[in-house]
Structure 1
């Protein structure tokens, strides 16, 4: 574990504040913050795949519900689900202080985007795959 990363309970509090979601299974959240080099079986990569799919599903469903055109939905997907946007959101919310990584390595944009996707995946699984119970992906953006 990186000594710069705060204790487990502090990490959970920070992530829950940043997402607006309280985990019933905190281990999902913590797994989402483990980079590939810090954990067996690739760390957060599988959760990041779930998070990417859940984010896309949420954005398409929200767009559909608002009567958005396919072009508008595609534009939202290109913007909101992009690695650069996800990384920016993670850094703005202080996730970089919560990501477990090997020996003080700086959190890159790619690492941050993967961590945000993994946290979204953890939320999606923790709320029993109910996108309506999950927090809306970055509603203010």
Structure 2
């Protein structure tokens, strides 16, 4: 089913924001579905993007650890960076700063406002979706993480 031009433009805008073009756009859409959001005639996981968010959380941590290891940072410094950069508060703030809330599909019972928790899990889900879509290419994911300002400070 072809995308409407409006939807195609939104997809293009989002891909520009994160610096990655999806091969499998179904992963992109899954990453934007919060739990409880229903799409008729479309098979989605029961928990919305929570499974992808779990992948994204693990990948974000792994990328931060690998970067710290390669830069010969101490375990304490690596752990502090993970605590700061991968915290739900930071993920949510980053998502709102990058205007990702304009793309999240939320449960209508939640109103029209994307909560901090949903935003944090959406950012994680996007990272997880990029990881899977890129055939688990760590450098591609690292680039997206850096584009989202979630990587190590320069």
Return the TM-score normalized by structure 2: 0.82
1:32 counterpart = 2:31:
yes
Unmatched 5+ stretches in structure 2: 39-44
Residue 73 of structure 1 deviates from its aligned partner by 0.3
**Contact 1:33 / 1:118 at 8 angstroms: preserved in 2?**
yes
Aligned-partner SS, 2:139: coil
* CA RMSD in angstroms, aligned pairs only: 1.8
Moved more, 28-37 or 95-104: 95-104
Return the TM-score normalized by structure 1: 0.89
Moved more, 10-19 or 27-36: 10-19
Higher relative contact order by CA 8 Å / sep ≥ 6: 1 or 2? 1
Moved more, 99-108 or 77-86: 99-108
Q: 2:98 aligns with which of 93, 113, 132?
A: 93
Residue 14 of structure 1 deviates from its aligned partner by 2.3
Aligned-partner SS, 1:27: helix
Residue 128 of structure 1 deviates from its aligned partner by 0.8
Alignment length (residue pairs): 136
1:133 counterpart = 2:140:
yes
- Aligned structure 1 segments of 4 or more residues deviating by more than 3 angstroms: none
Q: Which residue of 2 aligns with 1:46?
A: 51
1:20 counterpart = 2:27:
no
